[in-house]
Amino acid sequence: MAQGIGFGKVILFNEHFVVYGIPAIASAISAKTTAVVESSEEGVALIDDRQETPRYKKEKFEQQKDSLNRILNAMNIDPNTPIKIILAGDLVTASGIGASAASCVAIARALSSYFNLNLSDERINEIAYEGEKGYHGTPSGIDNTAATFGCLVWFKRGEPNVIERLILKKPVEIVMGNTELVTDTSSAVAGVRERKQRYPDKYDKLFKKAENLSYKAKNAIESADLELIGNLMNENHRLLQNIEVSCKELDLLVDLAIKEGALGAKLTGGGLGGNMVALTPGKELQERVAQAIEKEGFSALRTSIG
Ligand code: MEV
């Protein structure tokens, strides 16, 4: 038997823009997916015991199969090998929390351990990126990077990607509000691509703003200026609204979090549903925001970044 883990993640700045080489910032969260590999009688089987947002597993079933085949292929493992892979852990599957990336990383690590491959984190990250293609089509690579390295990262897609670890002086509480709408990241990404082609001037301006914001956000994190980080998150949410990846549930959660005192809030991940993130330093503020979200009938994850 062998085991591997992959962390959930939260994108703090510039999801979607990151696909086009604009820098983005993401943090791993402590909730993680575990994968266990055991010998079995038949070819590779996947048993998914993760807790889920309703409908998540059903909606991702075909993509998960495709993803697993890509991982096996990247690792040169014959799909007829008699093993079973069991997914579990405390990361509740949802859109916007890096559930697919966490599972790809956990599977790659567990397989590496089972077959004594001793793969480096860099190689695990590359394999998980191949697995992510089963879910996203053309992932930027930010999700699997946070899921593999388990820290706060600055990520710029390119040849090669630029990945830098960012340090926050001390971890800061956040709340993730789950709209419980399961979404398809590849359609959200395709929608942005289509509108970007249709309205090049408008989108060029928005992308320039997102790029400027990424450098300000990096400085704000490095100087632990939480007020500024929060303001920049709000600004980022407006840019994401402008490229049409928000929705009324996400806007409601963002407004609610701000009303309750969050320093900033925005959608996180692919959008059109999925999760919102609010910056809520201190247990008291975190609890107030989380409870307000739960009172509206949504679920809230109390976690931290950095
Ligand atoms: C999804 O978590 C983040 C997106 O930017 C897509 C990607 O980076 O691959 C929407």
177 and 159, same structural domain?
A: no
Mind telling me the catalytic residues?
143
Q: What are the tokens at 37?
A: 């590999």
* pLDDT tens digits for range 92-150: 999 999 999 999 999 999 999 999 999 999 999 999 999 999 998 899 999 999 999 99
Q: How far is ligand 1, taken at its centre, from the CA of residue 52, in Å?
A: 20
Average pLDDT score over residue span 2-27: 98
143 lines ligand 1 (CB under 6 A): yes
Q: What are the tokens at 133?
A: 């293609």
Which of 185, 195, 75 lies closest to 137, judged by CA? 185
36 lines ligand 1 (CB under 6 A): no
244 and 143, same structural domain?
A: no
114, 143, 166 — which closes off a domain?
166
Q: What pLDDT is recorded for position 90?
A: 98
Q: What pLDDT is recorded for position 87?
A: 98
pLDDT at 225 over 90: yes
150 and 136, same structural domain?
A: yes
Q: Maximum Cα–Cα distance for the chain, whole Å?
A: 58
* pLDDT tens digits for range 245-259: 999 999 999 999 999
Average pLDDT score over residue span 266-285: 98
User: How far, in Å, CA of 62 to CA of 82, rounded?
Assistant: 21
* Residue identifier of the C-alpha nearest atom 9 of ligand 1: 139
Q: What is the mean pLDDT of the chain?
A: 97
166, 191, 221 — which closes off a domain?
166
Among the residues of the chain, which ranges form H helices?
56-74, 99-114, 121-136, 142-149, 185-198, 200-222, 226-242, 248-259, 283-295
191 and 105, same structural domain?
A: no
Which of 176, 172, 170, 177 lies closest to 283, judged by CA? 172
Alpha-carbon distances of 48 from 114, 125, 219, 240, rounded to whole Å: 18, 21, 40, 32
Which of 239, 235, 230, 166 lies closest to 202, judged by CA? 239
Q: For the chain, how big is the Rg over CA atoms in Å?
A: 19
Q: Strand ranges (DSSP E) for 14-58?
A: 24-39, 45-48
CATH of the domain at 87: 3.30.230.10
Mutation test residue for ligand 1: of 10, 11, 93, 145, the one with most atoms within 8 Å of CB: 11
* Number of compact structural domains in the chain: 2
- Sequence-distant (6+) residues with CB within 8 A of 191 are 244, 245
Q: What are the tokens at 197?
A: 């082609």
pLDDT at 1 over 90: yes
Q: How far is ligand 1, taken at its centre, from the CA of residue 79, in Å?
A: 28
131, 166, 201 — which closes off a domain?
166
Number of C-beta neighbours around residue 108 at 10 A: 29
**Residues present in the chain in total:** 306
133 lines ligand 1 (CB under 6 A): no
Average pLDDT score over residue span 51-70: 97
Beta bridge partners of 127: none
15 lines ligand 1 (CB under 6 A): yes
Average pLDDT score over residue span 186-207: 98
Q: How far is ligand 1, taken at its centre, from the CA of residue 116, in Å?
A: 32
Residue type, 267: L
Domain encompassing residue 287: 172-305
Which of 178, 203, 204, 209 lies closest to 92, judged by CA? 178
pLDDT at 162 over 90: yes
SS3 at position 14: coil
195 and 109, same structural domain?
A: no
Q: What pLDDT is recorded for position 137?
A: 86
Number of C-beta neighbours around residue 43 at 10 A: 12
Alpha-carbon distances of 134 from 14, 131, 137, 168, 181, rounded to whole Å: 22, 6, 6, 33, 20
CATH of the domain at 299: 3.30.70.890
Q: How far is ligand 1, taken at its centre, from the CA of residue 305, in Å?
A: 18
75 and 6, same structural domain?
A: yes
pTM, entire model: 0.97
